[in-house]
Chains A and B, each alone.
Chain A
């Protein structure tokens, strides 16, 4: 048999898709087919009625079915038409032929207002009661359900179907996304070459064949070398060929028969595996010799296929269950850690290798703005910005996934060994927050069941002829630039991760904004409080001061010396109180006013301060040491003047040496020390009384004095607090080294932006 396709336009592998295999007008010879009108008058028969039931087609055509079957069997057929024929098939049909009673399995279905009755000779001893069916199917179903994984289930099924049918080879054949099929489970007689793991191109099973597999749960070809039997007349009614889509005897496409023959298969049976109305795969049975499978056994196989189809979803969702659980728990830890970290980047980087484990990657890159942090095996850092920008334009729904990056992003060819697989998650386009995961290239060997590129033969008369493959020898192809594919569960985890991260970021930003607002408010309040309090405290204080003086002026003579002395103390106390208030006011104002940085020669400042201090205390001989000129920096002149004034005046004040000296200088900061952003550390050193170690921690506290009021010239105790405030306003640090009696050194820095 040859099927010629006349086409000068295009001959490609999909030409098979156009073969009208549902209306061949032919059947397989192992049974007879009768086409009846709804009134059960015979309108079309298969030519082999004479051989199988001893009637000539002419004897039957135009006649009621009653010419063939006794009334009770006609009743059965009629009941069949009313009800769901699937439930009653097969009918127990017997036909008288040469004084013999021939028994048949009658299979009835309706198609386009026609009744199709197919009769298959019944095997001897074949019973078809439910009890037997149940007996044979029960064990198999239990095994299918108990199989722990999809693959285990497939293994069970091939074994069971082999036992039930006795075929040489039983396989589970699964379609991938591209329609190619892979043998994922197989049971075969020892002498046969295994097909397990072989891949067959999508063109091996044309579209309309797939459609028929979806309509019929089971398809049997008992002998592929059969001579097809024609239907008589050619068309039942009108000019339309009878639709044999649902016929069990329907003749097979000659291309398929040739395919089977090339494969060395003489009998074949396929059971459809259907999930969500789509053909998921097939249970394919092959036999090297003709093999008929009785209808009842086929029913069992069909049932097994249906149960397996139902189980597919369950088994698939249980697939990698442990892995999924592990991922889920990793994700939990991930989120926990992220929610405790200061920033997105810091949080992710802390996770380090668990970031890789989350999706089973070998490398990861976290992008946050222009910052890029690599973990594990990643493409070179120089390639990352371009890759990120490319992803940015190609990502959809925040996720990008590829197992063969170099095929869509050519620059990836350079690093395909470490990054053929890419999974990218976009957290924020605006902030350029991305996480990229990489998987290395894995050389994959795909074993095809023969060369998948179907050849086209050109016949002698110039016709292109599609021919099925002749060779089913293992044909291996090495696939490069591909990684292990990303599993659905890994992609799902990452998608979930995004919403979790976004949630955390939002709540953190929210919290931060609240805290900032609160902080700002409380700072403003504190400043306002200090300012207002200081002013309002001053008024009554001034009153006390003035009235004490009025008392002394107006009643001095009545108060005597003792009373006047007490009033003088009162006046002195009010003055001290005013000093304290003024310090507080000054301190609070330092915190509120903007600092205005301008280039300042620190030598001038220090010289000024020294001059002022020496003028106010001319009787004290002090040696001022300036080991080397100070730099010119950008700072608030007034504040820095006060800073030096306070430090130098303290150095002079707290000194009981006969020969006092004060040294002002700077040292270079260690650039490796992250604590100081300033290149210089300034210092003011003296040979004064020093500070006992136990007090060092408290000297910067406001109004904290270490000495009695009348010692060392007194003071409010705000000087160092103000020094600290000024240094803080210049984003620097201040600290002290001192020991009791050993002099003190005050160090401070004034931030990097102080540089010119």
Chain B
């Protein structure tokens, strides 16, 4: 599912892979409250996320699936789960430069370790408290979209 974002922006889009509508609703609420407009795309399943990134199937039209500047990925997804999606992204030379942040309920040390071994850029446990959640989201956005320099897509393409 592609969520409507601001009509025009130079801002790289944010891809959220999250199957829970309520969790997504909470995320969207605080992303929209952020002072910068960030184009938002959502996938509910792992396979769908891969189709989005590889521009296959329903996302064959490149206009429908722009390359995201950041991916928020849930681990427990129906079908192909987040662990597999992460592995595929980080093994792909073209995709692995996209920062991936795991946002999950799982605080299992095994999961945390495995994700970092696969090259995840951050592992965030979904906070229960909405205030904490709001703060976490805004911190993430400001860090990844304002503080950090990300590789530019065009430059990367040129290099390839």
The stretch that binds B, out of A143-151, A540-548, A558-566, A716-724, is A540-548
Cβ of B23 under 8 Å from chain A: yes
Assuming the contacts A535-B105, A575-B129, asked whether A542 and B76 have C-beta atoms less than 8 A apart, the reply is: no
Band of interface residues on B: 10 to 19
Chain A neighbourhood of B124, CB < 8 A: none
The answer, yes or no, to whether B146 is at the interface (CB within 8 Å) is no
**Listed A/B pairs (27) with beta-carbon separation below 8 Å:** A531-B108, A535-B105, A539-B20, A539-B22, A541-B128, A542-B22, A542-B23, A542-B105, A542-B126, A542-B128, A543-B23, A545-B128, A545-B129, A545-B130, A546-B22, A546-B23, A546-B25, A546-B130, A546-B133, A547-B22, A549-B130, A550-B25, A550-B26, A571-B130, A575-B129, A578-B128, A593-B109
Chain A residues positioned under 8 Å from B128 (CB to CB): 538, 541-542, 545, 574-575, 578
| A543 lies within 8 A of B105 (CB) | no
Q: Which residues of B contact A (CB under 8 A)?
A: 20, 22-23, 25-26, 29, 76, 105-109, 126, 128-130, 133
Whole-angstrom distance between the Cβ of A351 and the nearest chain B Cβ: 51
CA distance A585 to B25 in the complex (A): 26
B135 to chain A, nearest CB (A): 13
Residue of B nearest to A575 (CB): B128
| Interface assignment of A589: CB less than 8 Å from any CB of chain B | yes
- A interface bracket (residues with beta carbon within 8 Å of B): 20 to 34
Return chain B residues, CB-CB under 8 Å to A550: 25-26, 29
Pick the contact of A539 from B105, B108, B129, B130 — CB < 8 Å? B105
Partner of A546, one of B26, B76, B105, B108: B26
Top 9 closest pairs, chain A to chain B, by CB:
A543-B22, A549-B130, A546-B26, A578-B128, A538-B105, A535-B105, A546-B130, A539-B20, A542-B128
Q: Which residues of A contact B108 (CB under 8 A)?
A: 531, 589
Q: Contacts A535-B76, A535-B105, A550-B29 given; indicate if A543 touches B130 (C-beta within 8 A).
A: no
Inter-chain CA distance A535–B126, complex, in Å, is 11
Shortest distance between the CB of A278 and any CB in chain B (Å): 78
Most chain B CB inside 10 Å of its own CB: which residue of A539, A546, A550, A575: A546
Q: Which residue of A lies closest to B23 (CB)?
A: A542
Cα of A435 to Cα of B26 in the assembled complex, Å: 75
- The minimal Cβ–Cβ distance linking B17 to chain A, given in whole angstroms, is 15
Find chain B residues with CB under 8 A from A546 CB. 22-23, 25-26, 130, 133
Interface residues of A in 498-545 (CB under 8 A from B): 531, 535, 538-543, 545
B129 CB, min distance to chain A CBs, angstroms: 7
Q: Report chain B residues within 8 Å CB of A542.
A: 22-23, 26, 105, 126, 128
Chain A window 570-605, contacts with chain B (Cβ cutoff 8 Å), 1 for yes, 0 for no: 010011001000000100010001000000000000
Q: Once the chains bind, are B106 and A535 in contact (CB under 8 Å)?
A: yes
Given A540-B22, A571-B130; 13 other pairs, CB 8 A cutoff: A535-B105, A535-B106, A539-B22, A539-B23, A539-B105, A542-B126, A546-B26, A546-B130, A547-B22, A547-B25, A549-B130, A550-B25, A550-B29
Chain B residues with CB under 8 Å of A578's CB are 128
* Cα distance, A297 to B60, chains bound together (Å): 123
Distance of A589 Cα from B26 Cα, bound (Å): 29
